[in-house]
Amino acid sequence: MSHLSINPASPLDSLPLDRILEGDCVEVLATLPDSSVDVVFADPPYNLQLGQGLTRPNQSVVDGVDADWDKFADFKAYDALTAAWLGQARRILKPNGSLWVIGSYHNIFRVGTVLQDLGYWILNDVIWLKTNPMPNFRGTRFTNAHETLIWAARSPEARPVFNYEAMKNLNDDKQMRSDWTLPLCTGAERLRGPDGTKVHPTQKPESLLYRVILASTRPGAVIVDPFFGTGTTGVVAKRLGRRFIGIERDPTYIREAERRLAGVEPCPTPSFALRVKREEPRIPFGTLVERGLVPPGTNLCDARKRFHAEVLADGTLRASGPSGEVIGSLHSVGAAVQGLPACNGWTFWCVEDKAGVLHPLDTFRRRAREDAARPSFARTTRKKGDKQENVLPLRAG
């Protein structure tokens, strides 16, 4: 096991970055400093409790998980390990850090209980739907076609990274859902020995880790995987320009992971140019009204001109709803006129220009953000008739 020197003055220097630490994960996690890492991704033993070997109808043996590392005396022993590593993981996470755990019906409910008892706050459970699951050979149950990932914050107060826009981009501009359809790790990606047998029985697909890491970390983030196996987390972290710390007990898997990692090239920097919406300056609608970008009295409508509203001096909207006049925020009035529980008023409400073209309010917000980011001289030297760098309207009306 590696021994670490702790230097509180430079948190990154105190971490064994981009290395695999050999040993029991509870002991190794205990050597890492408090509040020092961004994300923990864990693929712990599933405690499959398989009895006799599984065979297909033609009596060939199924290449399942019967490794010693997946065997526990009883649930109590499994829960004790779970509480120990989850406790250490929570200690080393930064206050806004988050944790991912993947498991199957054999263990994920137990893991979920323990992590809630320890103070974690569940953000999502994600279903990994396998496109090519192993059939239920005995025909006695449903095909077990999914695994579950729990995504949890360190505490209810934490504000973990969520790259909403990157996830939406990945999903053809639709909000990413919590059911992910991805294939098992097969083909060239699957590590095999000279005799063709799998190097590791539960090697995870890189596409799964790609989504996890892209969703919940920024470039340079530190990701710890306490059950590193053949290093899938490290491979994807390195490719995406993140840092990793792997922990694994089995030296054979460590060797394989090191070999695999040596062949990974980081993506070129531009592939990290994520638009992080949360970090853009917040522009309340009232600011646009105050600045005269959308002056009081402006008439708004939706893209199909079914609903209309008027902008009031304090940045509220007035409209006629199904049960009379409504006054409120652009969102609440947008929701009320449609009889819906919620509405994104920025994209729902539009301003019609003199040529009859509709511009969503979001366009004016972008203009305000650009103005805020532009050096002040550029704003003062722009003259009437100057060509605009883009097609955003300057102001409504």
Ligand X SMILES: C[S@@+](CC[C@H](N)C(=O)[O-])C[C@H]1O[C@@H](n2cnc3c(N)ncnc32)[C@H](O)[C@@H]1O
Cβ-based nearer residue to ligand X, 66 or 250: 250
Cβ-based nearer residue to ligand X, 208 or 333: 208
Instruction: Estimate to the nearest angstrom the gap between the alpha carbon of 154 and the chain centroid.
Output: 15
Least Cα distance to 134 among 66, 199, 56, 205 occurs for: 56
Least distance to ligand X from the beta carbon of 29, Å?
A: 9
Phi and psi angles of residue 347, each rounded to the nearest 5 degrees, phi first: -95, -20
CA end-to-end span of the chain? 69
Least distance to ligand X from the beta carbon of 212, Å?
A: 11
Cite the beta strand spans of 285-323 per DSSP E: 299-301, 308-311, 317-321
Cβ-based nearer residue to ligand X, 232 or 363: 232
Least distance to ligand X from the beta carbon of 226, Å?
A: 6
Least distance to ligand X from the beta carbon of 230, Å?
A: 4
Cβ-based nearer residue to ligand X, 248 or 302: 248
Least distance to ligand X from the beta carbon of 348, Å?
A: 43
Residue nearest to ligand X according to CB distances in the complex: 229
Whole-angstrom CA distances from 298 to 293, 347, 386 are 10, 16, 25
Cβ-based nearer residue to ligand X, 243 or 367: 243
Q: What are the structure tokens assigned to 219, written together? A: 């470039």
Q: What are the structure tokens assigned to 371, written together? A: 């103005």
The answer to whether 330 and 349 have CB atoms below 8 angstroms apart is yes
Residues making contact with ligand X (CB under 6 A): 24-25, 43, 45, 69, 200, 202-204, 227, 229-230, 232, 247-250, 253
Q: What are the structure tokens assigned to 382, written together? A: 């722009």
